[in-house]
Structure 1
Amino acid sequence: MEMPKDYNIEIEKKVQKKWENEEIYKFIENSDKPPYIIDTPPPYPTGRLHLGHALNWTYMDIIARYKRMKGYNVLFPQGWDCHGLPTEVKVEEIYNITKSDIDRKKFRELCIKLTEENIRRMREQIKSLGISIDWSREYITMKPDYIKKSQTAFVRMYKQGLIYRGEFPVNWCPRCQTAIAFAEVEYIERESYLNYIKFKGDEKDLIIATTRPELLPACVAILVHPEDERYKDIVGKEFTVPLFGQKVKVLADESVEKEFGTGAVMVCTFGDKTDVHWVNKYNLPVIKAVNERGELTEVAGKYKGLKTEEARKRIIEDLKKEGYLIKQEKIKQNVGVCWRCKTPIEIIVTKQWFVDIKKLLPKVREVVDEIKWVPEHMKIRLLNWIENMDWDWVISRQRIFATPIPIWYCRDCGNIVVAKEEDLPIDPTEKGYKCDKCGSTNLEPEKDVLDTWMDSSITPLVITKWLEDEEFFKKHYPTQLRPQGHDIIRTWAFYTILRSVALTGKKPWEEIVINGMVLGEDGHKMSKSRGNVVEPDEIIEKYGADSLRLWASNSTIGEDVQFLWKEVDYAYRFLRKFWNACRFAKMHIDNIDELKKNRKVNNIVDRWILSKLQKLIEKIDNDLSNYRFNTIVNLYKFIWHEFCDNYIEMVKYRLYEKNDLEAKYTLYYVIDKLIRLLTPFAPHFCDYISEIYNIDNLHFSFPEVNRELIDENAEKYGEIIKNTIVAIRRYKANKGLSLNAKLKEVFIYTEDEDTYKALNLGLEDIKGTMKIEDVKIIKGKPELRYKIIEIIPDKSKIGPEFKKHTKEVMEIIKNADEETLEKILSEGLKTEFGIIRREHIKDVKRALFVEGKEVEAVNIENVLALALVKL
């Protein structure tokens, strides 16, 4: 293949098409290779990928590609978690209907149609990122085969006594009009008022403080701390609730915060989790003051039908009028909201289905410790969540588009009828059944559906063919890896572990890798309201998928990542730089089959790059095995600087003037290994170059370290040769000469034995690279008088004392004579800033006039590599 002159991101589409046609990422069932199965997150199909998806999928793909190259048979599936309330809402918007307007089956069909279209769009977006997914293993939670497994899991857990139905307080979203689990409750800070309200008593009044006066009609008790001296005389006495008239008793409880408000707290059914705890503890009555629509009920009297926010305003106004409101204080509080629509939740009593979490927690804790967590501290986050759990998982939802709960209720005998496994999947609203207790067919179908986490929490079982291929399941479960975001540790990670324990008694995966979120360029979480959202498509269109992937790679696992356009631009320029280097090399590489054969390398510069390359291979290999994706920085530095800027420049003369076979061999060897190292990060670029260079087995062969090529002396000598050439190159640039400008004679002085040896070994490379007719390597230093004309600090190495006063100190050094310089080097530099010692200035360089001619800047610690140039 002929290599185009310029790097063009259009190659990515061609490469993606090739991958798809050849199915090179397909999992081979009967392979001899060890399996590596990734339990991938099934995203909710909104119709578009956001940048957080791109980050997460890039991480997953780097792992998948690396493991594939290391000899594993990788199963990298793609799933779709379809059942969600947003789809129902969107369908209602599109068709201008409500779900109660049409038949359940028809409404579900509309949801399926929308979801299929969204999946199609997102599937193409994932492909555009170059994700190496085995699309033959795609799973979709709304498909009958998946629903069958979800329902089977429900039936088995029910029969084990791990799932039950009961009437209990649950978190309820008035907008979504469905129960939600505690893991789905988010907390936001908002400003509110603490209202001080007077309750009348027979002997004296009592002031309580509350942020929710709209729950006064559901007040069932008042609690105080037993050691609060203010209230010891009223414990057991009754007070009248203002506006609503019910009498409530004062109880003493040690969990009351004496310092908050007045230290007297009203118990309402239900304001928060604490109310639920107290109601159960003291066997208090339950008064339902808020209904499923977030409106006050008939117990609120004239406030019936008002939304809670409006009822709060009206009740506060009336408390003022009646003289019950003593004062108000502004307060900031954390309010629980629905994770989907951000509406403040209510706690109401309804009949729901629950998973009995407490029965499973001991085994869950044990399994959590069996799993390797990356980063390790993410495990603590989950364990803290577990320790604070005091409610069971509510798994029923009051929706339509979801997995049906395979249950009927016998109207004749009251029996709960559970579907038989052989009849699954089944929708009880569409099919009758027979009571297994009394034989009646007079059954009422369950209309509630399963929480979407009940579907997605069995993904490791589904992708290992649970209930489908028992032999395959036994061989491949548990899976090797779960990659996911830290925002769903308490939902997806916890629920998956819980279900795996319940259904298999085992852990779901060997390892779990947790990624962070993407922040905008302003450092804040991406959101439309902030205007800092960047779409993956926008980046790919401008810079290509590989540049986006390289940006994502240069981050730390588990930490949030800030998106910066300049980093994507740098990645693109890096690929263009490497492209140009590969193109140059290809102009001189013809007989590739010959170059693939191992050969002995003698040239010191070749041995230098080969030795450094072996250490790079070892570093990248170790980093990728430990999920340190930001090792890409090591590749950046090596490819851009050592290979492109230095090595290629040092071998050009051998290629042009000598047609040197050893240089060609080394070039091909290095490019082969660098392309393989870069493949997990920038697979499109590497695949294309591999075609140009006829690199074998690219996606299934990671480079191995050749320890015979590691040569410490070659590295040491090569660095000296490189730095000498860099110094002469900089001299040419400073004089306005082209790099190809010929120099007649160069003298290089050194007192260092290793430097002297290195310069002699690299003599021909120095001459050939810098176009010098004659180079003299002289041991010692020149007997010449000179003066400093320029000071060049290496800011990355000089000490902090020097940095602090750089300008002033450099002037002192610049104007010093030779005797003063020697004194500075031995004693340090005494200034008004203090003593600037030798170690603080050792990497400052000076330029000299020698016999009236300007020469290159050299290190002032010795006269190493002083180039005396005669034009």
Structure 2
Amino acid sequence: MEPKIKETAWNPELEAKILKQWVDSGLYDFVPENKNFVIDTPPPYPSGRPWHIGAAAHYSQIDMIARTARMNGNHVYFPIGIDRNGLPVELYTEKKHNIRMQETERSKFLELCRSSLDDLEAEMLQIMKSLGLSGNFSNYYRTDSEEYRILTQSTFIELWKRGTIYKATRPNNYDWVSGTTIADAEIQYQDIQTKLVYMKFKIKDSDRTIIIASTRPELLCACQTIIVNPDDSRYAGVVGKKIIVPVISREVTIRTHHSAQMEFGSGAVMVCSYGDQNDVALFREMKLEEIVAIGMNGLMTEAAGAYAGLKVKQARTKIIEDLQNAGLLEKVEEITHRTPISERSKIPIEIIPMEEYYVKQIDSIEKIRALGQKITFHPDMHKQILMNWLDSISIDWPISRRRYYGTEIPIWYCKDCSEPHVPEPGKYYKPWTDLAPFEKCVKCGAKEFVGETRTFDTWMDSSVSPLFISKYNKDPEFFKKTYPATLRPQAKDIVRTWLYYTILRCEQLTGASPWSEAWIMGYGLDEKGMKMSKSKGNAVDPLPVIEKFGADTFRFWSASEINHGYDFRCSEQKIEATKKFLSKLWNVSRFISSYPTIEKANPTATDKWILSELDRVIAECQKGYLEYNFFVPAIAIREFTWNLFAAHYIEMVKARAYGEGFTEDEKNAAIYTLHKVLSTILLLLAPISPFITDYMWLELYSKETIHKQRHPRPENLADMSQYTKEIEEFNSKVWNEKKSNGLSLKDSISIEIPESLKQFSSDLIPMHKITN
């Protein structure tokens, strides 16, 4: 018989044609119903070359979530967005055009940013479409669109009116390369080689010298006190005395404080403004007067005296040299120091007092903790990232940034009295260029205003994504059916930023958690186990790989390689190896396509055995799909299809399917079972490899796409798994014996079938050409 599937191999070029059919038919259009599954899809960021292969694997699995939900009977809302705000595009634009933001006319710089993003965005969308993402591409959103920025500004205005946002001058993390304040959540810590400098501080009117060790000697000019532990008997006689800061020759007082560790160094610590957050806390607690040693340009200020105008590292080197020359240097050690680094510019941050706007978050920590505990995390272990972050928050969230490409803070100030004025929500405001929408100052009556020039932290935009997709304050009926969302899928490195800020903002605005589940992905690593990044040069571009092997191969590699929640290694060789499984599936399907489908049959013992194994696989796949862990169904389907169904069952029933020496009923039972198993495999595999499964489904089983079908459920058949190992071992024994005797598999052999397998004899005898 001629197979119905004519092509001898799966051709990935068919994917583009299938994709067009999906789009043209409106297969993934969303109409809100009562049972909706809403995905708060992460809007990817196009900066530099968009995406690497690990990110593509991440998004292909998000699509598996969407497809699984549809096959479980849900109406799936799978919005697609592009994140286009913030520092990365500014840095990319500066590098691309060899310009500096602060030296470029603002409107021109913004236009260059938009142009850069458009090109990168197009490639990113192409990758997502090539992967077969079943999202809404015809109406994708941009976080720099007027509509999105109106929402960000409106939520700011709403929280401003509630008193949740305020302005204050406080020490803040400052990225002097980017020229802006950054939040604690945007800081990474790296172990960096640095110098620990042991300096001699002389007590005034005494011959006594105290040795103090610090990694920040350049901050000597900002030292305002020396602290020792109140229980440290070594300093009992000097507390309250004056001590002379070396090189700077300024007097400060020795005080006691419990934070000074007696066992660390000499037990005496200098407190400067500001070496770290501990200094910030001590300055507040001890009511010390701050000295700003480092300016917004990253250079030492006039307060540094002879070191003014030097870069921090230059000042450090010069002070060490001067300490040495003055006989005030005890020693210098090379140590590894845990250093706070800007997530964006990758340089050490400084702490500088600056006036910024803040969102209150300290008062919400316990409320967010309670909401976080109720969210189901997949896998559960990543919930601890959120809990650890909540434990570390010590200040409110600074949300203003001294950058250009972001949503503008909608505030104008009275030119006479500086009173801030916030407009009514519903419009997109650009205070740096727009006229104030007020006639006069509410405080002093003056009629001239000055617009705010700062923009929001990019997480102010990103954190309202579930509100934007659900049409918050725009379409009440749509919002009611789509908020809270069902699921937030994202990478683990932004749990403390995107996930946390979204819960915070959405709770403040709606009183509810933004979603009930969070799906957290690990990192994509290179072949050596290093985290992939564009800056390291080890990021693999996914588009050529997808074009070479096809989306289904790439997606199946993603599912079968990644145990959900854990980091995973990427290599083209592994992806290529995955192609073998789809080739095997194609060959099996092509063979089975030679037979007509049969509605009903009376299965034999062999058929009942494979159907019971299929039932087990369905249950295993169902468990994996319910947990959004696609590693489980991918491995289960591959192992069953390749090593059991193809290797054993098909070989056992070939003769019966051909009708050689069997009744019509027995023949039909084999054909029925072959199609039953194959059609179930296709249904189980559809969320992972949607192209090849849909193609075969339409060829063999239906005129309606597989992606409108329901996932199979276990039929709770009688368990016959106790025979599986015996069948495999007996078949292997026969094949090995034929091989050792120089026989082909088609040659006859005399061998005893075990008593326990006698019920399968009618298939085993013709399979192996057993003569006795």
Pick the TM interval, shorter chain: over 0.9
2:672 is the counterpart of 1:665: yes
Shift of 1:706: 5.5
Q: What is the distance in 1 between the residues matched to 2:751 and 2:330?
A: 94
Amino acid at match of 2:618: I
Q: What is the distance in 1 between the residues matched to 2:724 and 2:92?
A: 65
Contact 2:526–2:570, Cα closer than 8 Å, also in 1: yes
Structure 1 partner of 2:9: 6
Shift of 1:94: 2.7
Structure 1 partner of 2:74: 72
2:648 is paired with a residue whose SS is helix
1:8 is paired with a residue whose SS is coil
Structure 2 partner of 1:506: 512
2:354 is the counterpart of 1:350: yes
Contact 1:223–1:251, Cα closer than 8 Å, also in 2: yes
Q: What is the distance in 1 between the residues matched to 2:671 and 2:456?
A: 64
Q: Select the residue among 87, 90, 100 that pairs with 1:88.
A: 90
Amino acid at match of 2:730: T
Q: What is the distance in 2 between the residues matched to 1:134 and 1:2?
A: 32
Contact 2:54–2:570, Cα closer than 8 Å, also in 1: no
2:713 is the counterpart of 1:705: yes
Structure 1 partner of 2:414: 410
Contact 1:45–1:122, Cα closer than 8 Å, also in 2: yes
2:622 is paired with a residue whose SS is helix
2:30 is the counterpart of 1:22: no
Q: Select the residue among 280, 284, 289 that pairs with 2:284.
A: 280
Structure 1 partner of 2:452: 446
Structure 2 partner of 1:225: 229
2:682 is the counterpart of 1:675: yes
Q: What is the distance in 1 between the residues matched to 2:579 and 2:337?
A: 46
Q: What is the distance in 1 between the residues matched to 2:283 and 2:330?
A: 27
Contact 1:38–1:76, Cα closer than 8 Å, also in 2: yes
Structure 2 partner of 1:461: 467
Q: What is the distance in 2 between the residues matched to 1:344 and 1:718?
A: 61
Shift of 1:361: 1.9
Moved more, 58-67 or 100-109: 100-109
Q: What is the distance in 1 between the residues matched to 2:83 and 2:431?
A: 19
The answer for unaligned runs of 5 or more in structure 1 is 776-871
Structure 1 partner of 2:767: 769
Q: Select the residue among 125, 129, 137 that pairs with 1:127.
A: 129
Contact 1:220–1:285, Cα closer than 8 Å, also in 2: yes
Structure 2 partner of 1:556: 563
Larger radius of gyration: 1
The change in CA–CA distance for 1:311 and 1:706 in structure 2 (over 3 A counts) is closer
Structure 1 partner of 2:300: 296
Q: Deviations over 1:217-250 (max 9, x none)?
A: 1111111111111111111111122222221111
1:239 is paired with a residue whose SS is strand
The change in CA–CA distance for 1:747 and 1:377 in structure 2 (over 3 A counts) is closer
Structure 1 partner of 2:478: 472
Structure 1 partner of 2:55: 53
Structure 2 partner of 1:863: none
Shift of 1:323: 1.3
Shift of 1:5: 0.5
Contact 1:405–1:428, Cα closer than 8 Å, also in 2: no
2:26 is the counterpart of 1:39: no
Contact 2:228–2:267, Cα closer than 8 Å, also in 1: yes
Q: Select the residue among 573, 595, 601 that pairs with 2:580.
A: 573
Q: Deviations over 1:551-585 (max 9, x none)?
A: 22132222111224453233211111111111111
Structure 1 partner of 2:336: 332
The change in CA–CA distance for 1:360 and 1:703 in structure 2 (over 3 A counts) is closer
Contact 1:209–1:265, Cα closer than 8 Å, also in 2: yes
1:646-665 matched pairs, under 5 angstroms: 646-658=648-660, 660-665=667-672
2:367 is the counterpart of 1:363: yes
Q: What is the distance in 2 between the residues matched to 1:6 and 1:113?
A: 42
The change in CA–CA distance for 1:721 and 1:209 in structure 2 (over 3 A counts) is closer
Q: What is the distance in 1 between the residues matched to 2:266 and 2:571?
A: 50
1:327 is paired with a residue whose SS is strand
Structure 2 partner of 1:791: none
Amino acid at match of 1:110: L
Amino acid at match of 1:62: M
1:437-836 matched pairs, under 5 angstroms: 437-527=443-533, 532-554=538-560, 555-586=562-593, 588-590=594-596, 592=597, 595=598, 597=599, 599-631=600-632, 632-658=634-660, 660-695=667-702, 696-705=704-713, 707=715, 710-713=717-720, 715-716=721-722, 720=726, 723-743=729-749, 746-748=750-752, 750=754, 752=755, 755=756, 758-759=757-758, 761-772=759-770, 774-775=771-772
Q: What is the distance in 2 between the residues matched to 1:501 and 1:712?
A: 49
1:235 is paired with a residue whose SS is coil
Contact 1:721–1:766, Cα closer than 8 Å, also in 2: no
The change in CA–CA distance for 1:471 and 1:703 in structure 2 (over 3 A counts) is closer
Structure 2 partner of 1:236: 240
2:114 is the counterpart of 1:107: no
Q: Deviations over 1:578-631 (max 9, x none)?
A: 111111111x224x4xx2x2x132322222212211221121112210223221
The change in CA–CA distance for 1:449 and 1:85 in structure 2 (over 3 A counts) is same
**Aligned CA-pair RMSD:** 2.0
Give TM-score, length-normalised by structure 2.
0.94
The change in CA–CA distance for 1:419 and 1:131 in structure 2 (over 3 A counts) is same
Q: What is the distance in 2 between the residues matched to 1:298 and 1:724?
A: 87
1:548 is paired with a residue whose SS is helix
Alignment coverage as a number of residue pairs: 756
Shift of 1:362: 2.8
Contact 1:617–1:703, Cα closer than 8 Å, also in 2: no
Q: Deviations over 1:804-836 (max 9, x none)?
A: xxxxxxxxxxxxxxxxxxxxxxxxxxxxxxxxx
2:252 is paired with a residue whose SS is strand
Contact 1:48–1:125, Cα closer than 8 Å, also in 2: no
Structure 2 partner of 1:253: 257
Q: What is the distance in 1 between the residues matched to 2:713 and 2:475?
A: 40
Shift of 1:206: 2.4
Q: What is the distance in 1 between the residues matched to 2:153 and 2:297?
A: 29
The change in CA–CA distance for 1:348 and 1:231 in structure 2 (over 3 A counts) is same
Q: What is the distance in 2 between the residues matched to 1:296 and 1:684?
A: 61
The answer for unaligned runs of 5 or more in structure 2 is none
Shift of 1:739: 1.8
Contact 1:220–1:268, Cα closer than 8 Å, also in 2: yes
Q: Select the residue among 281, 306, 310 that pairs with 1:306.
A: 310
Q: What is the distance in 1 between the residues matched to 2:685 and 2:481?
A: 32
Contact 2:614–2:677, Cα closer than 8 Å, also in 1: yes
Q: Which has the higher contact order (CA 8 A, sep 6+)?
A: 2
Q: Deviations over 1:151-182 (max 9, x none)?
A: 01111111111111111100001111110000
Moved more, 518-527 or 528-537: 528-537
Amino acid at match of 1:351: E
Shift of 1:657: 4.2
1:421 is paired with a residue whose SS is coil
The change in CA–CA distance for 1:569 and 1:102 in structure 2 (over 3 A counts) is closer
Shift of 1:656: 3.1
Q: What is the distance in 2 between the residues matched to 1:589 and 1:667?
A: 9
Q: What is the distance in 2 between the residues matched to 1:96 and 1:519?
A: 31
2:209 is the counterpart of 1:205: yes
Contact 1:35–1:476, Cα closer than 8 Å, also in 2: yes
Shift of 1:417: 0.4
Amino acid at match of 2:608: R
1:413 is paired with a residue whose SS is coil
The change in CA–CA distance for 1:158 and 1:727 in structure 2 (over 3 A counts) is same
